[in-house]
């Protein structure tokens, strides 16, 4: 059991060395894209919600 754990940890270390980590600029750009996308999605959701509320208030 102990050897399996050691092998597992060694495999993790080996795989982590293969990872290509983003540069600081790439990370900033990706973060900005995520924030803008979330804001756009929130605004669209708000507009759709207001439209549905308006429709339902007109019906009832």
List, run by run, the mean pLDDT of 10-residue segments along the chain (60 residues): 95 96 97 98 98 90
Radius of gyration of the chain (CA): 24
User: What are φ and ψ of residue 3, in 5° steps?
Assistant: -65, -35
Predicted local distance difference test score (pLDDT) of residue 34:
98
pTM, two decimal places: 0.66
**9: DSSP letter:** H
pLDDT at residue 59 in the model: 84
Q: How far apart are CA 24 and CA 17, in angstroms?
A: 18
What pLDDT sits at residue 60? Answer: 73
Q: How large a percentage of the chain has pLDDT more than 70?
A: 100
């Amino acid at each position: 059991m102990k050897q399996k754990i050691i092998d597992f940890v060694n495999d993790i270390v080996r795989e982590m060395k293969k990872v290509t980590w983003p540069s600081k600029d790439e990370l900033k750009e990706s973060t900005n894209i995520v924030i803008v996308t979330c804001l756009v999605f929130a605004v669209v959701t708000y507009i759709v919600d207001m439209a549905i509320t308006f429709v339902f208030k007109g019906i009832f």
